[in-house]
């Protein structure tokens, strides 16, 4: 069958033009694709934490003195009111220099002189009282005979009462002078003097609660001031966990949130719950030198001590706080999301072309995000959309 030259002349240019157009047509963009799927979604916060004994007791010296060597080792059990934690002796008087000693000796002599003067005054008051009582008896006898008036007898009684009060005041002055003398003599006592600390002056500090010795702050015999810490005791089974979270994360927490404790040294993760979020935050400089506002969060362990026998006070752990545990929600990988002035967007794939769609995003966990509107289950979306992906651009799945 012969083809007319006219048909060839018309067909050949058209074919060449079509081939040229196909050659110039851009190839579809190779992209990574994801899909909207229904499934579980867990939203968590992860941070490092540290264990601590919930009720710890710091045993301190009740007075200044010398603490004897502490024999208890960290980890040894103690019983409340029975176990002796530390033994103290009251402090001995300090040595005196020549000027201080001379001043105190003069104070002793002055106190001795004051005591002698008070005793002399008491003897004078006692003699005056004897005379007043003798005069009273004489005036009463004369009054009974009618020789003296009633007023004279009453004046004699007043004199006797006054002398008794004066004698009582003199007795008090003597006691006060004796106390001043004893205080002056005590100030002269030095280490090794008679009247210093004896074996009967030992004071024993006993355990306030049942538990173990957590820390021994002093071991060797030494001189301590009042209030110096000696040991820490507590129950190692009664543990809690503290973690400093960013304030923006801590604001999402509520008491009762489930906590998973991992990397604690055991096999399975332990269970816990948030017990308290501190009301006040603090500034902390991160490893990168950035100032961050953080908040202490206290968590309690739910699992019994038998599941964590090796976990102790001050151990490092990793905590994961579960904010949301959704069973079945539509979700996409977070790498498909991007933002513009109107909010969250994705590039969906329809008929092989990229379509820009607005979506309402719910909970996110860093890997997946809940889609509340804008997409339906099964829709394809472009992951990690580059600047080359435009509205209406032809795309195809990247070959792996």
pLDDT value, residue 275: 95
So what's the pLDDT on residue 197?
A: 42
Mean pLDDT on 37-58: 92
pLDDT reported for residue 191: 44
At residue 190, does pLDDT exceed 60?
no
194 — pLDDT class (breaks 50, 70, 90): very low
What stretch of H or E contains 373? strand 368-373
| pLDDT (average), residues 80-98 | 82
Full-model pTM: 0.62
Each residue of 362-395: pLDDT tens digit? 998 889 999 999 999 999 999 999 888 888 888 8
Of the candidates 236, 234, 226, 229, which has an alpha carbon nearest to the alpha carbon of residue 207?
234
Mean pLDDT in residue range 163-168: 89
Cα distances (angstroms) measured from residue 307 to each of 267, 270, 313: 10, 8, 16
Per-residue pLDDT band for 240 (boundaries 50, 70, 90) equals: very high
Query: How much is the mean pLDDT over the chain?
Result: 86
pLDDT at 245: 94
Q: What is the mean predicted confidence (pLDDT) over 198-203? A: 63
Q: pLDDT band for 250, please (50, 70, 90 cuts).
A: very high
| 92: confidence class by pLDDT, cuts 50, 70, 90 | low
pLDDT greater than 80 at residue 258: yes
What pLDDT score does 8 carry? 57
Q: Is the pLDDT of residue 7 over 80?
A: no
pLDDT of residue 4: 60
Which residues is 87 bridged to in the sheet?
Answer: 204
Domains of the chain: 26-41+328-397 (2.40.420.20), 44-53+236-325 (2.40.30.170), 58-91+204-234 (2.40.50.100), 98-186 (1.10.287)
| Res. 199 pLDDT band, cuts 50 70 90 | very low
The pLDDT confidence band at residue 309, using thresholds 50, 70 and 90, is confident
Exposure class string for 203-239: b at 16+ Cβ within 10 A, else e: eebebbeebbbbebebeeeeebeeeeebbbbbbbbeb
| pLDDT at res. 167 | 87
Over residues 266-283, the pLDDT tens digits come to 888 999 999 999 999 999
Count Cβ atoms within 10 A of the Cβ of residue 345 and give its class: 0-12 exposed, 13-18 middle, 19 or more buried.
middle
pLDDT tens by residue, 8-22: 566 766 666 666 555
- Residue ranges with strand state E in 176-269: 203-206, 211-216, 222-224, 229-234, 239-246, 258-262
In this model, does residue 178 exceed pLDDT 50? yes
Is the predicted pLDDT of residue 85 greater than 90, yes or no? yes
Question: Has residue 195 got a pLDDT over 50?
Answer: no
- pLDDT single digits (tens) 319-353: 999 998 888 899 999 999 999 888 999 999 998 89
Percent of the chain with pLDDT over 90: 48
């Amino acid at each position: 069958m012969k083809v007319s030259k006219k048909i060839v002349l018309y067909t050949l240019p058209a074919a060449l033009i079509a081939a040229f157009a196909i050659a110039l047509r851009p190839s579809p963009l190779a992209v990574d694709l994801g899909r909207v799927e229904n499934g579980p979604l867990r939203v968590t916060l992860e941070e490092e934490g540290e264990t601590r004994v919930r009720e710890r007791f710091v045993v301190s010296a009740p007075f200044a003195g010398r603490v004897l060597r502490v024999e208890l080792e960290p980890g040894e059990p103690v019983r409340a009111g029975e176990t002796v934690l530390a033994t103290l002796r009251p402090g001995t008087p300090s040595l005196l220099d020549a000027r201080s000693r001379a001043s105190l000796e003069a104070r002793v002599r002055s106190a001795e002189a004051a005591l002698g003067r008070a005793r002399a005054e008491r003897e004078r008051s006692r003699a005056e009282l004897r005379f007043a009582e003798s005069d009273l008896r004489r005036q009463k006898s004369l009054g009974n005979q009618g020789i003296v008036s009633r007023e004279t007898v009453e004046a004699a009684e007043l004199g006797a009462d006054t002398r008794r009060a004066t004698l009582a005041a003199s007795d008090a002055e003597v006691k006060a002078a004796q106390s001043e003398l004893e205080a002056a003599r005590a100030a002269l006592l030095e280490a090794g003097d008679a009247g210093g600390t004896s074996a009967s002056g030992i004071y024993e500090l006993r355990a306030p609660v049942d538990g173990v010795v957590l820390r021994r702050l002093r071991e060797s015999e030494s001189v301590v001031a009042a209030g110096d810490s000696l040991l820490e005791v507590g129950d190692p089974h009664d543990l809690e966990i503290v973690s400093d979270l960013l304030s923006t994360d801590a604001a999402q927490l509520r008491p009762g949130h489930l906590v998973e404790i991992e990397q604690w040294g055991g096999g399975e993760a332990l269970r816990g719950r948030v017990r308290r979020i501190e009301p006040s935050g603090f500034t902390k400089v991160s490893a990168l030198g950035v100032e961050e506002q953080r908040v202490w969060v206290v968590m309690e362990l739910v699992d019994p001590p038998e599941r964590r026998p090796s976990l102790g006070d001050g151990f490092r752990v990793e905590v994961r706080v579960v904010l949301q545990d959704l069973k079945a929600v539509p979700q996409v990988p977070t790498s498909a999301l991007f933002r513009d002035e109107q909010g969250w967007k994705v590039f969906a794939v329809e008929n092989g072309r990229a379509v820009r769609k607005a979506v309402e995003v719910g909970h996110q966990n860093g890997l997946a995000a809940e889609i509340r509107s804008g997409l339906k289950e099964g829709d394809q979306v472009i992951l990690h959309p580059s600047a080359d992906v435009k509205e209406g651009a032809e795309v195809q799945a990247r070959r792996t």
